[in-house]
Amino acid sequence: MIEHRLQRRVALGFAGAMLLTASLDFLSWRNKQAAANEADSMAQTYSVMTQLERTLGDVVDMETGARGFAATGQELFLDPLTSAQLSLGKDLNSLRQLTTRDPNQIIWLAPLTRDVNKAVSADQDIVAQRRQNTILPVSPAFQHGKQLVDTVRSEVRAEQAEQTRTLDQAARTKAIKGNRSNAVMLISTLVEMSLLVLAWIAVSRALLASTEAQIQIEGSNVRLEQRTRQLEAANKELEAFTYSVSHDLRAPLRHISGFSKLLVEDFGPSLEPEARRYLERITQGVSKMGVLVDELLGLAGIGRHILNVKFAPLNPLVDEVVAMLAPETEGRLVEWKIADLGTVPCDQALLRQVFQNLIANALKFTRSRATAVVEIGRVDDAGESTFFVRDNGVGFDTKYADKLFGVFQRLHRAEEFEGTGIGLATVRRIVQKHGGRTWADAKIGAGATFYFTVNLPVENDVQVNNGVVTGVHCE
């Protein structure tokens, strides 16, 4: 449960770190891309500015050439004019291409082109007028040419200023983007590191916890082993005790019994009748104690008995018990009501003992009834099989019901009903070994019902088919 939660937490930590790394890398890549684009457009702006400078230069060269030719009439001055005129076409063309994406292109490139063309034609006019010798040193054509050069210059300077602003902005943007990219990288690294540290902490905590749990488990295993050893030792001791009781207690009993019998046999005739009566009482006491010791040993033996569990049909078992108890019912009217008891996983020998004790009790406590009614049945409820033995005997006060199953507990005086007080304790011990419970219900003078459940795990998948007794209330 805890391990599961921890595993999920660690997995989430790692997944988060990976996701973050991926997204931050993507962001950083985008920023780099943007910076590269910005660098591209800056390079372009530089080209525009250079081209503008070249255009201005060409216009000035052209004007200077025209002026020189006009003053000297020498063709030599026409060379720079011609080459400037040629390059001006290229200049304007490349400016147009460089600024196709500039939204302000129309605003500045069109007037510049127009004014450059005007300057070209003005200079061509000067050259033409000089060839016809119609030009004067202070001709208005010179004035016009100069004016046009100034116009072009101012236009070029204005646009250069504009381009410089663009360049500044691009540089600023580029710087911002670069900084942002760096910041993103830094933050991403920090966050990743913290996530990894958190994941590491979680993992080491989990390891520590599981190690501690392991140590605890090992500790409790050691304790359990100690406890088991102690229990085994106690069991062995109990076994030895039982053995010694079995052997040592029975022997003197045998001797008392034997020698009192011999006394009666060998010297009976010479004994007073009172003495013979005492000897008889001794013999009775001894034989009673013999039964008691044997029953106690039987009870102690159940604890050490290894269950031989089988699916046993119970009716044959109960029939055997009834037949065995036949001497008890001699000369009595007994009405047997034995339901179909089905089968149940149990140790047959022990369960026979349970039925024997309960049925013997039922017969014992119905002795005063004209007709004894003994009912044996079964009720199945919630997977638990409850068996009961009911009689119409003298019953008992239910306030003593919890005492019933204890060792040596008797609810009747010995002269009313004989017994050792071990029978029901034996029943409870056997039923406990079968994973079940025992309880009883009764009313003084109106009979008693003894219940027990059998709850052994079913090892092979055999269906329990049983008859269900109706009309019986069970807890």
Site residues (vs another protein, CB under 8 A): 243, 246-248, 250-251, 253-255, 257-262, 286-287, 289-290, 293-294, 297, 301
| Closest to another protein by CB, 265 or 415 | 265
The residue among 353, 241, 228 whose CA lies nearest residue 300 is: 241
Residue 344: CB minimum distance to another protein, A = 24
Assign 448 to helix, strand or coil: strand
Token code pair at residue 393: 């005997």
Residue 235: CB minimum distance to another protein, A = 14
Residue 282: CB minimum distance to another protein, A = 12
| Closest to another protein by CB, 258 or 445 | 258
| Closest to another protein by CB, 174 or 352 | 352
Q: Is 372 exposed, middle or buried (0-12, 13-18, 19+ CB in 10 A)?
A: buried
Residue 367 Cα to chain centre, angstroms: 64
Residue 249: CB minimum distance to another protein, A = 9
Residue 246: CB minimum distance to another protein, A = 5
Q: What are phi and psi of 98, to 5 degrees?
A: -65, -30
Tell me how far apart the alpha carbons of residues 78 and 83 are, in angstroms, rounded to a whole number.
9
Check: CB of residue 370 under 8 Å from CB of residue 333: yes
Spatial CB neighbours of 366, under 8 Å, sequence gap ≥ 6: 334, 372, 373, 374, 391, 392, 393, 394, 447
The residue among 422, 425, 432, 404 whose CA lies nearest residue 294 is: 422
| Closest to another protein by CB, 29 or 243 | 243
Residue 316: CB minimum distance to another protein, A = 25
Alpha helices in 245-272 (DSSP H): 250-267
Residue carrying the six token digits 């009790």: 361
| Closest to another protein by CB, 265 or 272 | 265
Q: What order do you get walking across the sheet with 384-391 strand by strand?
A: 333-338, 371-381, 384-391, 448-454, 438-442
| Closest to another protein by CB, 27 or 289 | 289
Tell me how far apart the alpha carbons of residues 59 and 447 are, in angstroms, rounded to a whole number.
137
Neighbours of 430 (CB within 10 A): 26
Assign 338 to helix, strand or coil: strand
| Closest to another protein by CB, 255 or 281 | 255
Residue 254: CB minimum distance to another protein, A = 5
Residue 238: CB minimum distance to another protein, A = 13
Token code pair at residue 78: 């026409």
| Closest to another protein by CB, 152 or 302 | 302
Strand 371-381 vs strand 309-313: parallel, antiparallel, or unpaired? unpaired
Residue 430: CB minimum distance to another protein, A = 16
The residue among 387, 382, 392 whose CA lies nearest residue 340 is: 387
| Closest to another protein by CB, 268 or 445 | 268
Q: Is 388 exposed, middle or buried (0-12, 13-18, 19+ CB in 10 A)?
A: buried
